[in-house]
Structure 1
Amino acid sequence: MTESPAIVEVRHASITFPGVKALDDVSFRLLPGEVHTLMGENGAGKSTLIKALTGVYQLDSGEILVGGEAQHFVGTASAQAAGISTVYQEVNLCANLSIGENVMLGHEARGFAGIDWRKTHADARDVLRRMGLGDLDPRAPLSSLSIAIQQLVAISRAMVTDSRVLILDEPTSSLDANEVEVLFGVIRRLRDSGVAILFVSHFLDQVYAISDRITVLRNGQFVGEYRTEELDRAALISKMIGKDFASLRALGSHRQTAVHDRTGTPLLVAEGLGRKGSLQPTDLELHAGEVVGFAGLLGAGRTELARLIAGADKADSGTVRVRGQKVALNSPVAGLAHGIAYSTENRRDDGIVGDLSVRENIMLAVQARRGWMRRVPARDVDRLVTKYMERFSVRPNDPDRPIRLLSGGNQQKVLLGRWLATEPDVLLLDEPTRGIDVGAKADIQETVAELAEGGMSVVFISSELEEVVRLSERIVIMKDHQRVGEVVNGPDLTAESIVSIIAAESEEQAQVLATEATHEEGNAS
């Protein structure tokens, strides 16, 4: 079958930010009448490419063609004028206006006396009907609709100008399964009418349900373009994380020599812990003296589970028990009060306070635990700061230096010192080795093993599966915002084993594979 000419073509695009090459000689194409999914881990370049296509960012080199004609977008309006519309994850509508007013915003019908509201609402009804939403009353308030239907209204607004290209950035993140099917019905209708749809999602099942074609980016570079039916899930994951199966098979398992007894009372038990739109109800046990890895692709639910355990987000279902006692974790301070510390994956925005000194950053959590009216004595501050700067060899060795002037690895060491200074029973480390050099990474991995040997329960989250396999005694596997399996580590477990479970086509298959992997490790040991 002959392919149609590309409606959008990106040729050799590069965009550089200070210290980062966000896009590096990337070429990409969108065909009319297709759903084309853009895949890649965090930092792969997906958002940068989308912003280039929508006029938010301009290319340092390369070109963008629409309908075969070179374009130079100087803003979102010029991209829209070329026929490219975008609907973002967060619905950007006006809740105080009617459905019709939102659909036609900026494109209202006008007469001699100004806006012709009768004609505007009639035009909105026509647009909604084309989207399969003819049962909506354009005069009804937008606020009366669910988030899912508001998402469809946002798509309708994007299509008012008969756009040739529709970009959907994580459109299903807040939708349940039934709502996703309604959205997919609209997407298929647009696809069949000839619209080119660029779809971005972390949900593998949804990607395979709706996509005709997949492009993979990694570290700002183009990895490949594939027909969906020709790329199985395991191969997709391998391309996203940059490990082929030959490499994955070579990664050995290094289980701790002392397997801890898990028959006693756990340090922490979560039962049915969940948050609507964020994490399906999840059970979890954490025992003293073990490292538990959370494995899964970005957006799988790893961070969401850690944040609920720590009180950084408030759960709307389930319970948590610490040392057998039910506790309310409604804030990070409450988490600290129960011996739970959480080191965020977003070191720059949610971790360090850039204008404060290394000393002040280390002491933040201890001071928060005491309360701001009870200042930590100066001699205790000096003792703790000296202890953790020396323990982690923070460089330069200047506690009064603003932390923003330190390297990423040294900032991460300071954050680890901050949480260890609170003497937690449970330490949740979310991507603690991301973006740091090999030496700092080795220091942190060694520290994780030492903390577990000292009796602490450590949760270790990393996108580098070999890291998870190397450090963890147990590995909880997450996919599509839910737990799909757990394996006990052992000499024969590899990163490939974890990939196979993540790539399973159903939750039941994932659980079977996880059970088989655990049984194999039990037999091997």
Structure 2
Amino acid sequence: MSTATVTHTAGASAHGEAPILSLVEITKKFPGVIALNKVSLDVRAGEVHALLGENGAGKSTLMKVLAGKHIPNGGQILLEGEEKVFENPKQAKQSGIVLIHQEQSLVPEMSVAENIYLGSLPKKWGNRVDWKTLHRDSTAILDRLKCSFSSKDLVSDLSIAKKQMVEIARALVFTPKIVVFDEPTASLTDHEKPVLYEIINTLRDQGVGIVYISHRMDEIFHLSQRISVLRDGEYNGTVNTADTNEDEVTKLMIGRSLELDHASKPKDFGENMLELRGLTVDGVFEDVSFSVRKGEIVGMYGLVGAGRSEVAETIFGLRKISSGEMLLDGKAEHIHSTHDAVAEGIALVPEDRKDQGLILGMNCRDNMTLAGLETVSSNGFMKPAAEKLVYDKYQQAMKIKTPSWRQKVGNLSGGNQQKIVIGKWLHTHPKLLILDEPTRGIDVGSKAEIHALIKDLAKTGYAVLVISSEMPEVLGVSNRIVAMYDGKVTAEFDGDEVSEDALVQAITGQYVTSGDASADRPVT
């Protein structure tokens, strides 16, 4: 490290104050893998301590040990100097440790208020639920988080972003000593993120110790005071945030620097593989027109709710077209179902890989072949050898890290799960590959690998549509960029000429001139 001092011990801080939390030589083993190997870490009262590492480095496992979800095979948990042994999450919560999950753990069939106070519902005479108090207190928490939904709404009716706010609301019910935020902004809108930052800073000012896990470096450097890094299940050092930079932290995480640049801009693309002409779904988006050529990567950029995912779902047959036309390889297509879409060579890697892209209880091999069962079966019977060949091909090509094909997908890191989803669709040999938020919740190393994969696929002739909420991502991979706002295409940019200011103007509904924005086709 050139500027930052890396420490490799947990315990009393450099300033002499005792930590509120110390994890000492925590070890956790799963069948076939050592997830944590003598990891030590401390957190001070009133600090935001960032925990970084590649997917599979052990971050979430360490926090699940802290929160009582996993029982460690060795090591100690010291809270305010006192050793704690948690056999379940309830014990950890009663001691003041709250984990806000990356994987949402809400009960869809219950109301927002019931989920917020789950396990501690207010009671009145006769041990009956005090509904009036429940909704009053829940509303107060939702107001504090500036949420637009009601405490009486069913969780199943909420968007992913709103469900994440309910998870955060749960933490505010208690008076916590330690709050762990595991990828808290992965599903939040740009409007909701500053509210979360305000809550985190308020908790910090109250003396709460915050552990913040995120792959977004801008958040880490904005919020944290110290950064600790795990690599391959082992502790790899702690640095003061003010004394380091993104490149040095990345080296700690993956052992090398990452060179991120704009996509190369070849001009010899093929004919249009996809062309949308005035595509409209009533009440969702209207008059959407753009094309994707063979060998081209088109990025679709906009705020959450702009209609980007809905356009992708319509192309894939999940939504009924109200008006307009869709052409595939020059031929007008009438896609009425996902079966039609797959038959025509369209593949969609969805926004929510856990709910929409994978069956978490199934193994890696079976997930990999789900979209092309006809190629690995005969007369209604699966051919295990053929399945294994498919799995081996994409496991090697995409460097998927797993002990065996028998491993349940739910036990893999987010990056490896995403590679399984992409591999599943590549096995269908699509003409058009749509990737909706392809690197959400993925570490910088895996993100770079997926970006390189996207570019390699385009070079071999794939037409690729990438939907992303991250400006560096859409700028880094796209040959052209389509900007959306409020269900409409507002501008179309050449990827090597667009400015960040012009892109921001386009996705916030402001008029963009071709001179200022280098836009090929500005739309008002």
Give TM-score scaled by structure 1 length.
0.58
Matched, 1:196 2:209: yes
> Using a 3 Å threshold, how does the CA distance of structure 1 residues 349 and 93 change in structure 2: closer, same or farther?
closer
The aligned counterpart of 1:372 is none
The RMSD of aligned alpha carbons is 6.0
- 1:169 and 1:482 map into 2 onto residues whose CA distance is 21
- 2:116 and 2:366 map into 1 onto residues whose CA distance is 46
Query: Structure 1 residue aligned with 2:106, among 78, 92, 100?
Result: 92
- 1:166 and 1:271 map into 2 onto residues whose CA distance is 49
Tell me by how many angstroms 1:54 deviates.
Answer: 0.7
Specify every segment of 5 or more residues in structure 1 that has no aligned partner in the other structure, as ranges.
Answer: 274-281, 295-303, 368-374, 382-397, 435-440, 462-475, 489-505, 512-525
- 2:43 and 2:325 map into 1 onto residues whose CA distance is 46
CA contact (8 A) 2:371 2:428 kept: no
CA contact (8 A) 2:52 2:213 kept: yes
Query: Structure 1 residue aligned with 2:274, among 252, 263, 268?
Result: 268
Tell me by how many angstroms 1:165 deviates.
Answer: 0.9
Matched, 1:174 2:165: no
Query: Structure 2 residue aligned with 1:63, among 60, 76, 84?
Result: 76
Query: Structure 2 residue aligned with 1:114, among 115, 119, 126?
Result: 126
> Using a 3 Å threshold, how does the CA distance of structure 1 residues 68 and 272 change in structure 2: closer, same or farther?
farther
The aligned counterpart of 2:6 is none
- 2:330 and 2:366 map into 1 onto residues whose CA distance is 38
Tell me by how many angstroms 1:353 deviates.
Answer: 7.2
CA contact (8 A) 1:310 1:331 kept: no
Matched, 1:337 2:343: yes
The aligned counterpart of 2:40 is 27
- 2:423 and 2:123 map into 1 onto residues whose CA distance is 63
> Using a 3 Å threshold, how does the CA distance of structure 1 residues 325 and 204 change in structure 2: closer, same or farther?
farther
Tell me by how many angstroms 1:51 deviates.
Answer: 0.8
The aligned amino acid for 1:34 is E
The aligned counterpart of 1:208 is 221
1:34-54 C-alpha deviation (Å, 9 max, x unpaired): 122222232121211111111
1:1-29 C-alpha deviation (Å, 9 max, x unpaired): 93642111112222222222222232222
Superposition map of 1:331-480 within 5 A: 332-341=338-347, 349=359, 364=373, 400-401=384-385, 403=387, 408=392, 424-426=430-432, 456-457=461-462, 479=470
Q: Any idea what SS the aligned residue of 1:74 has?
A: coil
Q: Any idea what SS the aligned residue of 1:6 has?
A: coil
Matched, 1:484 2:475: yes
The aligned counterpart of 1:243 is 256
CA contact (8 A) 1:353 1:403 kept: no
CA contact (8 A) 2:146 2:195 kept: no
- 1:56 and 1:377 map into 2 onto residues whose CA distance is 44
- 1:460 and 1:324 map into 2 onto residues whose CA distance is 17
1:321-370 C-alpha deviation (Å, 9 max, x unpaired): 53356767786534323323468999984898779799x87952569xxx
> Using a 3 Å threshold, how does the CA distance of structure 1 residues 56 and 286 change in structure 2: closer, same or farther?
same
The aligned amino acid for 1:189 is T
- 1:283 and 1:75 map into 2 onto residues whose CA distance is 53
The aligned counterpart of 2:8 is none
Tell me by how many angstroms 1:233 deviates.
Answer: 2.6
The aligned counterpart of 2:176 is 163
Tell me by how many angstroms 1:485 deviates.
Answer: 3.8
1:202-243 C-alpha deviation (Å, 9 max, x unpaired): 333333332232222232222332222323233333433331
CA contact (8 A) 1:13 1:61 kept: yes
- 2:142 and 2:370 map into 1 onto residues whose CA distance is 52
> Using a 3 Å threshold, how does the CA distance of structure 1 residues 335 and 352 change in structure 2: closer, same or farther?
farther
Tell me by how many angstroms 1:189 deviates.
Answer: 1.3
Matched, 1:54 2:63: no
> Using a 3 Å threshold, how does the CA distance of structure 1 residues 169 and 179 change in structure 2: closer, same or farther?
same
> Using a 3 Å threshold, how does the CA distance of structure 1 residues 362 and 82 change in structure 2: closer, same or farther?
closer
The aligned amino acid for 1:268 is L
Tell me by how many angstroms 1:153 deviates.
Answer: 5.8
Give TM-score scaled by structure 2 length.
0.58
Q: Any idea what SS the aligned residue of 1:194 has?
A: coil
Tell me by how many angstroms 1:315 deviates.
Answer: 12
CA contact (8 A) 1:96 1:141 kept: no
Q: Any idea what SS the aligned residue of 2:272 has?
A: coil
Query: Structure 2 residue aligned with 1:141, among 147, 152, 164?
Result: 152
> Using a 3 Å threshold, how does the CA distance of structure 1 residues 510 and 73 change in structure 2: closer, same or farther?
farther
- How many residues matched? 418
- 2:176 and 2:257 map into 1 onto residues whose CA distance is 39
Specify every segment of 5 or more residues in structure 2 that has no aligned partner in the other structure, as ranges.
Answer: 1-13, 280-287, 300-308, 399-419, 443-448, 480-498, 505-524
Tell me by how many angstroms 1:76 deviates.
Answer: 0.6
> Using a 3 Å threshold, how does the CA distance of structure 1 residues 426 and 174 change in structure 2: closer, same or farther?
closer
Of 419-428 and 307-316, deviating more is 307-316
The aligned counterpart of 1:497 is none
CA contact (8 A) 2:345 2:430 kept: yes
Give the greater-gyration-radius structure (CA).
1
- 1:159 and 1:507 map into 2 onto residues whose CA distance is 36
- 2:164 and 2:426 map into 1 onto residues whose CA distance is 43
Q: Any idea what SS the aligned residue of 2:193 has?
A: helix
CA contact (8 A) 1:352 1:403 kept: no
Tell me by how many angstroms 1:86 deviates.
Answer: 1.9
- 1:306 and 1:412 map into 2 onto residues whose CA distance is 32
Query: Structure 2 residue aligned with 1:322, among 306, 309, 328?
Result: 328
1:104-149 C-alpha deviation (Å, 9 max, x unpaired): 55445666x335877x96698689869973999xx96355997777
> Using a 3 Å threshold, how does the CA distance of structure 1 residues 173 and 270 change in structure 2: closer, same or farther?
farther
The aligned counterpart of 1:80 is 93
Q: Any idea what SS the aligned residue of 1:243 has?
A: coil
Tell me by how many angstroms 1:401 deviates.
Answer: 3.5
- 2:65 and 2:320 map into 1 onto residues whose CA distance is 37
CA contact (8 A) 2:23 2:77 kept: yes
CA contact (8 A) 1:218 1:242 kept: no
Identical columns (%): 27
- 1:271 and 1:222 map into 2 onto residues whose CA distance is 53
Q: Any idea what SS the aligned residue of 2:195 has?
A: helix
